[in-house]
Amino acid sequence: MRPDYRNSGGVHHFVKVKVSGDSYDLRVVTDRGELRDAEADVMGGLVFADRNCSTIGLDTGSPDLRTGVRCSVSLTNPYLEVLTGEAAWNLGPGGSSVEPPRIPFQISPGETHHLSFTLKLLQAAVPNQSLPRLEFTVVAGKRHHRFYREVLFLPKVLTRYRPVPPVLDGRLEDWGGVPPHRLGNGVNHDAEVRAVHDEKTLYLAVAVPATKAAVSDESAVRDDLQIGIAGRLSDTDFGADLIRLGFTCTGQAVEARDRTPGRRAEATVPAVKGACRKAGDRTNFEIGVPSRLLKSLKTGEKSRLVLNLAFPVPDEEPDAQEPADPALNSVSYQVRYGGDPLVPVHYVELILEPKR
């Protein structure tokens, strides 16, 4: 069982179905007893969180973590009933402390509530698997959701202003002078991202490991690359994706599929231009996203966007063991809409350089 699914409340189980006439009742049977379908809906909790709860994202170089940094998370109630619940910190094996450890809340319909806390690291270097996580239990009417929020550390990538944009042809020769940011620490797979912008467009160059064509699966359409773009809400959290795009490299030109939660998954976004090219054991993508699709994007000194990138990686050798923990600055096995349900996701923060 995948680590994050287990940590989100998933367990090995049976499903018991009782059919009576044209109605039915579903129960999830575990070693702890029976749960109604709503109580056991782990995936529903992940989707609810993706749409209604901000994500904790701290600066990798924050000097305040040893003395304590004040953070906040925003939670929105999308229902017509009052949303009640509790957010409780799971500190794991140690290495950090959080005050307060539990935060009860009651949120009126359509309102947003901000949960504030102070996070402190008790040692200079805390392993990724030892960081605390904020676990939510919420109820609105008959709806029950369980989900959590990791503490993410976001590396910053300077996104330079460039009046002459790169040519979108899948080649990276015209990205000279733009240093790449390596994803996943470059331990196993050579993946990287670069970014520039002009007054109208955000340009991304992403190199990902080449993989064999996926076996057809009716449950999911596999993208070679998905890119989500979110906006900063504060110095310590960011919101849901303003837009999420999926790309598959079948030729030089690529179409952008709309993978934004709540939208039709197979719709294309013709305003987004892109190209790809396979080069050895990597696939290079060049993508141009119009600023108007990002709503709040402004080319100013404080412009910051949070980029998340998801892509399949080559299969390991048959005898290879799956790593117990994700790489630093990545969250392993998150929801990826319109593609594999659970894949690694890498986060970076883009700092947009103002026009010179």
Whether pLDDT at 341 is above 50: no
- With bands split at pLDDT 50, 70 and 90, how would you rate the model's confidence at 206? very high
Contact present, 254 and 262 (Cβ < 8 Å)? no
Strand partners, 113: 75
Query: Would you state the pLDDT for residue 176?
Result: 85
Q: Once rounded to an integer, what is the mean pLDDT over residues 307-318? A: 73
Distances (CA, A) of 231 to 102, 161, 164, 290: 27, 19, 25, 15
In the three-class reduction of DSSP (H, G, I as helix; E, B as strand; rest coil), residue 238 is classed as strand
- Contact partners, residue 133, CB within 8 Å, separation at least 6: 7, 89, 90, 92, 148, 149, 150, 151
Whether pLDDT at 87 is above 50: yes
Place of tokens 């680590």: 3
Q: Where along the chain do its domains lie?
A: 41-153, 156-314+321-352
Determine the CATH number of domain 156-314+321-352. Answer: 2.60.40.1190
Contact present, 240 and 261 (Cβ < 8 Å)? yes
Query: Would you state the pLDDT for residue 53?
Result: 94
Query: Would you state the pLDDT for residue 311?
Result: 85
Backbone CA torsion sign across 160, 166, 169, 175: negative
Phi then psi for 72, rounded to 5 degrees? -145, 155
Backbone CA torsion sign across 193, 226, 306, 331: negative
- With bands split at pLDDT 50, 70 and 90, how would you rate the model's confidence at 340? very low
Q: Once rounded to an integer, what is the mean pLDDT over residues 205-230? A: 72
Q: Which of 25-34, 79-88, 256-265 has the highest mean pLDDT?
A: 79-88
Q: Once rounded to an integer, what is the mean pLDDT over residues 64-89? A: 92
Distances (CA, A) of 219 to 85, 117, 223, 280: 32, 39, 13, 30
Whether pLDDT at 332 is above 50: no
CATH fold of 41-153 reads Immunoglobulin-like (2.60.40)
Query: Would you state the pLDDT for residue 329?
Result: 45
Query: Would you state the pLDDT for residue 210?
Result: 82
CA distance 11 to 182: 34
Kindly report, residue by residue over 176-197, the tens digit of the pLDDT.
889 999 987 544 567 899 999 9
Task: Estimate to the nearest angstrom the gap between the alpha carbon of 325 and the chain centroid.
Answer: 17
